[in-house]
Amino acid sequence: MTVTRTATGTHATAQRLGAASYLACFSGIVWREVLRFLHQRERFLAALVRPLVWLFIFAAGFRQVLGVSIIPPYETYVLYEVFVTPGLVAMVLLFNAMQTSLSMVHDRETGTMRTLLVSPFPRSFLLVSKLMGGVAVALLQAYAFLAVAYFWEIEPPPLGYLTVLPALVLSGLMLGALALFMSSVIRQLENFAGVMNFVIFPMFFASSALYPLWRIKEASPLLYEICRINPFTYAVELIRFALYAQVEPVSLSVVLGFTAAFLAAAIFAYNPSKGLLARRGEPGGGGR
Amino acid sequence: MLSVPKGPTEQTDALLVRGVSHRFGAMLALDDVSLAVPRGGLVVLLGPNGAGKSTLFALITRLYDNVTGEIRILGHDVRRQPAAALQQLGVVFQSRSLDADLTVLQNLAYHAALHGIGRGPARRKALDALAKVGMDDRVGAKVRTLSGGQARRVEIARALLHDPACLLLDEATVGLDVASREAALAIVRGLVKERGVGVLWATHLVDEVADGDHVVLLHEGRVRFSGPVPDLLELAHAQTLRDAYMRVTVHASAEAL
């Protein structure tokens, strides 16, 4: 950094933002997200309890009702709890992404968002960093859930805990990018209940998270088709196979494609010259 | 006509706004606005609620781009050279923008990261900036435990952390008691003298304006007056700034009708 001395004081003049600066910015944004999460113990508890309730109560009850045949990646019959675990991990990512979206709408309303957007770094970089911060928090939640689930006889191969990491990151990015885009569309915090009803629940239930797709096809061909166009289905399958150290190429391609599309939409929405915020006169303190 | 807008000329002003208009749909929020803030100078952007101050701030901070005119911070065009321009800009927003769950130091460290400053230097700069606003004894305090005045001082420290040449304050004293308002004003005026920072202070409170200040009077999206306070008093045939302000804004509104 070069410094200019003026008659009355000193200022830093234009500084090239090098790799070290980008790294400092990225780690600062991610660290803040993690720190905020760790400070909010209730949020951590809720994030852990939600999938565990599904695992301990819902899945245990369904064990006797719903049989799961041998379908890849499973090599033998598995308990329903084992089948449903990848779906619940994906649910953790989904809820965390929507929580991030909620906090961004809140940040926009309170003005905190402005401190992020006034940074000299490119806005796309800031948004991706923010997204990665959300993914880092989601990873903490997902691994905490898998750790508890292990004691409930959900025991994927040890290597699976490592190979599932990139699948979690990618799926977290896809859902986070969707949430980021939605945060630009949602005008007020009060509208968030609608997001729960129209996004989270349909995405979760109309997917392969709770039932195998062949079962859904037998029950309702229409619902089957809906599940097939739901990106969440592919996130669940990507995680399911990765947890058993396998790659499911179709799911990988679909999740990659949707991540790129949602991210492009979010970056467009927050673009200072083209985006939705500019047309509305937001974010934060949107008065004249 | 009472308006005497003086066009800015210096390319190296801390802030230069020239010929900026902005629309939200059919509504014209800013109409050909020009102003300049010299380095080491304070300009008061005075205007009632809805005058267009926040829109102007949103454009200067590149929350969205200006379509017409130009905005330069220390000579850098905000739209074409946003990185160079925003590095020179510190902002205190109208609404509270500190993270209440984090400590004072964590908030400043986050801001430093947003300007690419690593952890070591960030801590040093944060302590230095907090000392300047008299908040260095609350470094580890959670922001939610601070009073409104203390939080404002932390926000001023945060805006100074990366040594900007230009500081924007948008209604920075709203919600503060008299003592806190005066303290915040004194800190900012001190910065202008001691550090040579160019300050644009947006307010609708005429009692925050000192006799020697340069005033830009914004009303209904247009600059109605730009110049020193005595010139405004003379032009408006008023004894006090409050009268002059009322006459200019009422006159402009009547003219619009």
What ipTM, to 2 d.p.?
0.82
- Write out the residue limits of the CATH 1.10.8 domain(s) in chain B: 91-163
Residues of A in contact with B63 (CB under 8 A): 114, 117-118, 272, 277-278, 283-284
Distance CA B164, CA B161 (A): 8
- What is the spatial distance between Cα B220 and Cα B252, in angstroms, rounded to a whole number? 9
Q: Can you tell me the distance from the alpha carbon of A123 to that of B126, in angstroms, rounded to the nearest whole number?
A: 24
Cα B49 versus chain centre, distance: 15
How far apart, in Å, are the Cα atoms of A149 and each of A70, A82, B108, B184, B221?
21, 9, 39, 54, 60
Enter the DSSP assignment of B6: P
Would you say residue A8 has pLDDT above 70? Answer: no
What secondary structure letter does DSSP report for B143?
G
Cα angle, residue A61 at apex, residues A59 and A63 outer, rounded to 5°:
65
pLDDT tens for B49-66 read 888 888 899 899 988 887
B55 in contact with chain A, both atoms CB, cutoff 8 A: yes
pLDDT in tens, A81-138: 888 899 999 999 998 888 888 877 777 776 777 888 889 999 889 989 999 999 999 9
State the pairing for strand pair B198-203/B166-170: parallel
Domain with CATH 3.40.50.300 in chain B: 1-88+164-257
Q: Which of B51, B12, B46, B16 is nearest to B30 (CA)?
A: B51
CB contact under 8 A, B99 and A11: no
Q: Which of A3, A119, A273 is closest, CB to CB, to B115?
A: A119
H or E stretch covering B246: helix B241-256
Give me the residue from B40, B91, B113 closest to A27, CB to CB: B113
Task: Sort out which chain A residues have CB atoms less than 8 A from B61's CB and list them.
Answer: 114, 117-118
How far apart CA A38 and CA B70 sit, in angstroms, is 43
Query: In the prediction, which pLDDT does A229 show?
Result: 92
Query: Running DSSP on this structure, what letter comes out for residue B103?
Result: B
- In degrees, rounded to 5, the angle at the alpha carbon of residue A280 between the alpha carbons of residues A279 and A281 is 100
Enter the CATH code of domain B91-163.
1.10.8
* Reported confidence tier of residue A209, pLDDT bands at 50, 70, 90: confident
CB neighbour list of residue B228: distance below 8 Å, 6 or more residues apart: B212, B213, B214, B215
Residues A159 and A243 sit within 8 Å (Cβ to Cβ): no
Pick the CATH number of B1-88+164-257 from 3.30.930.10, 3.30.9.10, 3.40.50.300, 3.40.50.620: 3.40.50.300
Q: Which of B54, B81, B87 has the highest number of chain A CBs within 10 A, making it the mutation to test binding with A?
A: B87
B85 in reach of chain A (CB within 8 A) = yes
Q: Do B95 and A9 touch (CB under 8 A)?
A: no
What band does B254 get if pLDDT is binned at 50, 70 and 90? low
Q: Does A245 touch chain B (CB under 8 A)?
A: no
Both tokens of A274, joined, read 């083209």
- Interface mutation target, options A15, A118, A121, A126, chain B, most CBs of B under 10 Å: A118
Which tokens is A4 given? Answer: 């200019």
Residues 6+ apart with CB under 8 A from A258: A174, A178, A231, A234
The beta-strand segments (E) located in B161-238 are 166-170, 198-203, 214-219, 222-228
pLDDT in tens, B131-190: 888 888 888 999 999 988 889 889 989 998 988 999 999 888 877 778 778 888 888 888
Instruction: Calculate the CA B17 to chain-centre distance.
Output: 13
Q: B50 or B105: whose pLDDT is higher?
A: B105
